[in-house]
């Protein structure tokens, strides 16, 4: 922060699962102080519950109050709630505000058109709660290079930002944001199979697996191995690992191809609903314009 420049006031509209994770992560990383944070939620009790853990957070009654008291506003609501929300608060938006959307189905240029403000999409991952892991960033057209760097520096407190285009938003989200759930499912399946096929207990298998994953992450973090070289180092020709990998190659086949196909189908459905909302809003605006 430049000398004489005040701290940014950060607002969060929505304190559900991901909103709560972001607030806690930025606060724990000392990227923000509670006194500079204003929050609200549709069920206001959730916002008050979160505030009890961080003395100084301002809880306000609605989204308009968050916007009035903030410079950067995180929109942590569901995709189909976003456009009605922005329509509701449009008279509160001013050009000194920056909108930060965490949802993928609404494009940055669509939000810019609605708000006429600087908009950035910041898609977080649950692993950001450990102040690490990827986040996906797409900037709107209104940002200067200096403003981009300021936001990226802020995001780096809890993540490793990757700047992406709209064309890879869904697959990047599948890997970086949905990925923890997909990987966890496979890990749980491996643990359950180990318990079923051998004498190991679930507790023993889980402890070993968790310890292995922590070490695995450290190897990648320290750049000791790449994914490919790590697999090659563990796989001794004719050994047990090779036999196991052959089973996986034969059984997995195109399951991940299907996974990406299905997630993209769902994304396309969400995009269609968003486009319909935008079309309805445009019709209303045109009708109001003609009536003047």
Residues 6+ apart with CB under 8 A from 252: none
DSSP-derived pairing of the beta strands 134-139 and 118-123: antiparallel
Q: Is residue 124 part of a domain?
A: yes
What is the DSSP pairing of strand 58-59 with strand 134-139? unpaired
Residue 129 lies in a domain: yes
For residue 9, how many other CB atoms are within 10 A of its CB?
A: 18
Q: State the total domains in the chain.
A: 1
Question: Is 112 part of a structural domain of the chain?
Answer: yes
User: What integer best gives the mean pLDDT of the chain?
Assistant: 95
Q: Is 18 part of any domain?
A: yes
pLDDT for 174 beyond 90: yes
Considering the domain boundaries, does residue 36 fall inside one? yes
Helices assigned H by DSSP within 75-201:
79-89, 108-115, 145-155, 169-176, 179-197
Task: Retrieve residue 184's tokens.
Answer: 């966890």
pLDDT at 291: 67
Model confidence at 244, pLDDT cuts 50, 70, 90, reads very high
Q: Looking at residue 292, what is its pLDDT?
A: 60
Question: Is the pLDDT assigned to residue 95 strictly greater than 80?
Answer: yes
| Residue 41 belongs to a domain | yes
In this structure, are residues 116 and 98 in contact, taking their beta carbons and an 8 Å threshold?
A: no
Q: Is the pLDDT of residue 284 over 90?
A: no
pLDDT at 3 (0 to 100): 45
pLDDT band at 5 (very low <50, low <70, confident <90, very high): low
β-bridge mates for residue 13, sequence order: 40, 75
Question: Residue 210 domain-assigned?
Answer: no
- Could you tell me the pLDDT band of residue 237, with boundaries at 50, 70 and 90? confident
Looking up residue 106, the CATH number of its domain turns out to be 3.40.50.720
Q: How does pLDDT run across 122-170, given as a tens digit for each residue?
A: 999 999 999 999 999 999 999 999 999 999 999 999 999 999 999 999 9
pLDDT over 70 at 63, yes or no: yes
Record the pTM.
0.92
| Mean pLDDT computed over 11-26 | 97
Structural domain containing residue 68? 10-171
Do the domain assignments include residue 66? yes
210 pLDDT more than 60: yes
User: Burial level of 144, CB count in 10 A (0-12/13-18/19+)?
Assistant: exposed
Residue 186: what pLDDT?
97
- Would you place residue 232 in the very low, low, confident or very high pLDDT band (cuts 50, 70, 90)? very high
Q: Are strands 37-40 and 58-59 parallel, antiparallel or unpaired?
A: parallel
Q: Indicate whether 37 pLDDT > 70.
A: yes
In this structure, the chain runs to a length of: 292
pLDDT at residue 11 in the model: 98
pLDDT, greater one: 284 or 8: 8
Tell me what pLDDT residue 4 has.
44
């Amino acid at each position: 922060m430049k000398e004489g420049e005040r701290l940014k006031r950060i607002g969060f509209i929505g304190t559900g699962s991901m909103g709560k994770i972001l607030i806690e992560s930025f606060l724990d990383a000392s990227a923000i102080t509670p006194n500079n944070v204003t929050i609200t939620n549709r069920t206001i009790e959730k916002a008050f519950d979160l505030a009890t853990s961080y003395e100084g957070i301002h809880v306000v009654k609605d989204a308009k109050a968050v916007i009035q008291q903030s410079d950067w506003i995180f929109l942590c609501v569901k995709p189909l709630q976003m456009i009605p929300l922005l329509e509701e608060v449009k008279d509160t938006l001013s050009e000194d505000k920056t909108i930060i959307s965490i949802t993928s189905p609404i494009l940055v240029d669509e939000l810019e058109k609605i708000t006429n403000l600087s908009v950035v999409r910041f898609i977080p991952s649950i692993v950001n709660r450990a102040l690490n892991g990827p986040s996906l960033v797409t900037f709107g057209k209104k940002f200067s290079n200096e403003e981009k760097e300021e936001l990226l520096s802020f995001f780096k407190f809890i993540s490793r930002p990757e700047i992406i285009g709209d064309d890879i938003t869904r697959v990047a989200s599948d890997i970086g944001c949905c990925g923890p759930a997909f990987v966890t499912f496979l890990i749980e399946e491996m643990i359950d199979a180990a318990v079923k096929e051998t004498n190991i207990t679930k507790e023993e298998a889980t402890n070993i697996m968790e310890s292995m994953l922590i070490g695995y992450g450290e190897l990648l973090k320290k750049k000791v191995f790449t994914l490919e070289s790590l697999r090659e180092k563990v796989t001794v020709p004719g050994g047990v690992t090779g036999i196991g990998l052959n089973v996986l190659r034969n059984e997995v086949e195109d399951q991940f191809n299907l996974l990406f196909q299905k997630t993209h189908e769902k994304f396309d459905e969400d995009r269609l609903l968003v486009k319909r909302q935008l079309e309805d809003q445009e019709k209303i605006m045109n009708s109001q314009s003609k009536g003047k």
